[in-house]
Every structure is written in C-alpha cells, then in structure tokens.
Structure 1
Amino acid sequence: MIEGAVRYAQIARLWVRASRAYPVSWALLVVGGFLITGIDFVGIWILFQNVTDLGGFDLHEVAFLYGTSGVAFAIADLFVGRIERLGQMIRLGRFDQMLVRPVPLLVQVCADEFALRRFSRIAQAALVLGWACTFVDWSTSRVLLTVLTVVAATVIFVALFVGMACIQFWTIDSAEVANAFTYGGNAVTSYPLTIFPSEVLKVMTFVLPLAFVNWYPSLYVLGHEDPLGYPDWTQWLSPVVAALLAVVALLVWRVGVRSYRSTGS
C-alpha cells in the first residue's frame, strides 16, 4: 500500500512537471474547469428562484448534498479518473507496456497523465459545501459524520471508477457505460433522492448503493426523517459500504487483469 502510494506520487509528479511547461495554458484550464463545474450549481440556484424546496429540501440542504458528492467525486476523479480510458490504453498497446514495468499495474493506470488542473473541481464543490455548512446546526456527531461521509463517498466513487472500468477488459469500447455510473452517480447524488420514486431509492440502497454516498448520512446531519423508515444506524453505514465496494472493485480488477489477452497492438 505504502509502496503503491509512493510510486503513484512519483508518476504524478512527472506529469505535473510536464504540465508546467505551458503555465498559461494550465492556468486557463484550471480557471475554465472551475467556471464550467460552477455552472451546475448555478442551475440549482436558478431552479430555487422558482420553487421553495426540492423533495422537501431547501437550497442550503441541496447545496450540502451537492457539495459532499461533488468533493468526493472530484477527489476520486483526480486520483483514479484516468482509469476510465482503460479501453483506449488496451487498444493502443499502452496497457501491454505497463504490464512489464516494475510498478503496480493499477497505480500506473490511475496515475497516467495525472492532471492537477482537476483540483479546480474540488475547489468549486468545496466552496459550495463550505457555504452550505454555515446553515447546519452542528454537533460533535454531525461533524464526525460529515467527515466520514466525504471520506467514504470518495472511496465509493473510487470503487465505481475501478470496478466499472474493468468492463473494458472484455468490451474495449465501453467507457460510456462506466461513465453512466461514475459521472451519473455524482449527478444523481447531488440532489435529494426523494425526487425519485421509492423503488429507485431502494435500488440505490440495495443494488447500486449510491444512496450511501451522502443521502443517508445527510438525513442525520440535516435533521430529516428517512422516507423509507429505515433504522437510524443506517445513516452511519457509509464507511462499511465503502469498504465492501472497495474490496469488490479490487477483486474485479484482479479478475480482469488475469483474463486479459493482448490486442497485439
């Protein structure tokens, strides 16, 4: 684990140095990324100029959902988002090159073309989250759960990135399928899940547990009742779900690597 982190940092440092060769371009990309991602929340703000609540949640509470999901997703995207191009690496023969290097394979894939400019997405979501937090009636347990939520949600998104990307071991041109669960998962969890039918909420609890990204913890932090009436301890299960998904993602990755057959590129 420690060796993998060190190797990742070394590879990432090389890509950061390369990006510094064009400082103006890098700065424009950072600013542009910040503004583009900010448009998402501007859309939510405009929506609330016409409604007082969304699924029983006001603007500040939706901002809390948006911020927790956005920060977690952006961190995951920064560190492992590159794996979404696994199929492209396989098709171009770059994955074969990585196989013979003395560096953990998953580390190489995730650190490839590391782009520090993606930090702008973290900053934008963190600003929204910070603003939303000023409206929360804080207690020690709520602070603790908020921190756990962001950490667990990050792990959940990392697991989704890795697990869904592995589909490309068998169907090389299927990056969009993975994106539907990663980027789509971020979009869905940015809103109150009460806007969906209860059946959808159950699917996101027991089948694809996106509800544990921030929904159940946010019910506790924001003082809302669970619409499905589940026990209160459900709101603290995100770290457990994150750990389970991480294990599943690593197992799927190992199966994918073992079943991989070179394209001959």
Structure 2
Amino acid sequence: MIRTYLLLAWTWLRASAQYPGPMITMAIGSFTVNALDVAAIWVIFEHTRSLAGFGLAEVMFLYGTAGLSFALSDMLFGNVDRLSQHIKAGTFDTMLIRPVSAFVQMAVDRFGVHRLGRAAQATVVLAIALSRLDLPWSRVWMIPLMVLCGIVIFTAIFTLGGALQFLLTDAPEVANAFTYGGGTLTQYPLSVYGDELVRGVTFVVPLAFVNWQPGLFVLDRPDPIGLPYWFRFAGPLAALGLTAVAVLAWRAGIRRYRSTGS
C-alpha cells in the first residue's frame, strides 16, 4: 500500500512539475497566508504579556507543533475529506473497480508539493519557538512523538470526515468543522476555552493529544483543569484508538455506498 501511494504521488508530482510557475506560486502563497495567523498572535501579545498564562514563545511552540502535524496530515491524506466531490461526479465508482485501495487513491488524488508551504511555515515558527524556550533534553524527546501522533490523529479525523460523506453527501462543511476547525483550535492553549470544551476535545474528539497534553509535559506546566499527569503520555493511545474508529467508519461507509451508475 505504501509503495502504491508513493508511485501515485510521484505521478502527480511529475504532472505538477510540468507547470513549475503555478506550483511555486501556490507554495509561497500558502506560506504567506498561514503566516497571517502568526501575525494575529503577535498582535495579541502587543496588548498582553501572556495568553491564558502562556508566554509568546510557549504559544508559538503550541502553534508550530499543531501546525506542522496538521500541514503534513493535510498534504498526505487531506484529500480524503473531498470524497463528496467524487461521489457526486461519479468518479469514486472508478476508484472502487481499480486494484488499488480506494482510500489510497482518495488520499493521493491531485497530490501537490505546493502544500509544503504550510508545513514550511509551521516548521519555521516551531524552530524559532524552540530557540527561545531553551528546553531540557529530558523533555525535548516528546516533540517528535507529539508531531507524529498529531499527524495520525488529524489523519483519522480526515478519514472520519470522509466516511461521514457517504451519509451526508452534500454537507462536506460538517467534516471541515472537525478537520480544519480542529487544526485552528489546537494552535492556541486550550485553557483559553471553557472547561467543557477542553473535556470534549480530550474524551470525545481527542484533539488535546495533538499538542496540548504532551505540550504541558514539554513546557513543564500543570494541567489547568486538573487531569491526571499520565495523560501527557497518552498521545499514542489516543491516536491508535481514534485510528481504529476511523478504519471501522471508512469500511462501514464503503459497504453502505451505492454506485451512482456512472
């Protein structure tokens, strides 16, 4: 499956390389547009020294880790939540009859390097934040793990959003509320939101394990709502659990799907 994904991705990249101008322009545009989010954070800190008790470098750290996880997940698997377009156009039928996983085909559809712009922007922000935090190595080891778990969690949410579109074909915005909405939510300390929302994104849709709970460990901060300390290390468990739910939902959607007849 991985080999098939790489071959299809390479095919799309070769096609995109035929028009390097638009590809580079889109990558630069993505970098610039997402940089506006950082500008908004700078504006906030022009009027306050902390946001929910977190300093500028700490907020940038949370922004960078969440942004990098989301950007890589969106680049590699984000097309899955565009399933409704293929269902309405009848092109999903074609994917089902090919000797390749429909999920892989959906994920790699129109794969383009221009999406690296968002990932590059998040990487720059994260690097700047780490240079200012001076974290001990005894906590730095968590950062690659939290980014990896974040990628898995966002990919599972993209998959759940795609599976939902087997049922709600004309409502892709419902899925976007959890995918792109979740990406935006995790860019800030969750303590700026109400306790009910924090519990919801911890126990229902586990976005808190993208960067909040492991981030509390890295930054050596107490949990504002008093959740157990071991939650900081539960990211892999949350990622695996949500992935299992996403796989079951996707398979159920495939079984429920009825051809458009195209």
- Return the TM-score normalized by structure 1: 0.96
1:199 aligns with 2:188: no
Post-superposition shift, 1:138? Answer: 2.5
Does the 8 Å contact 1:136/1:221 carry over to 2?
no
Deviation sequence 1:151-195 (CA, Å, 0-9, x none): 001100000000111111011112111110011001111001111
SS in 1 for 2:165: helix
1:159 alignment partner in structure 2: 156
Find the aligned partners of 1:137 and 1:31 in 2 and give their Cα distance.
Answer: 30
Unaligned runs of 5+ in 2: none
2:187 alignment partner in structure 1: 190
Find the aligned partners of 1:25 and 1:198 in 2 and give their Cα distance.
Answer: 44
2:248 alignment partner in structure 1: 251
Post-superposition shift, 1:23? Answer: 1.1
Does the 8 Å contact 1:80/1:158 carry over to 2?
yes
1:111 aligns with 2:108: yes
Post-superposition shift, 1:224? Answer: 1.1
SS in 2 for 1:169: coil
Does the 8 Å contact 2:23/2:113 carry over to 1?
no
One-letter amino acid matched to 1:86: L
1:136 aligns with 2:133: yes
Aligned residues with identical type, % of pairs:
45
Find the aligned partners of 1:85 and 1:199 in 2 and give their Cα distance.
Answer: 30
Find the aligned partners of 1:141 and 1:237 in 2 and give their Cα distance.
Answer: 18
Question: Could you say what the CA RMSD is over the residues aligned between the two structures, in angstroms?
Answer: 1.0
1:82 alignment partner in structure 2: 79
One-letter amino acid matched to 1:136: L
Post-superposition shift, 1:147? Answer: 1.2
1:16 alignment partner in structure 2: 13
One-letter amino acid matched to 1:40: D
Does the 8 Å contact 2:135/2:219 carry over to 1?
no
One-letter amino acid matched to 1:96: D
In structure 1, which of residues 71, 94, 98 is the aligned counterpart of residue 95 of structure 2? 98
Unaligned runs of 5+ in 1: none
Does the 8 Å contact 1:167/1:174 carry over to 2?
no
Post-superposition shift, 1:84? Answer: 1.5
1:228 aligns with 2:225: yes
1:169 alignment partner in structure 2: 166
Post-superposition shift, 1:140? Answer: 3.3
1:32 aligns with 2:29: yes
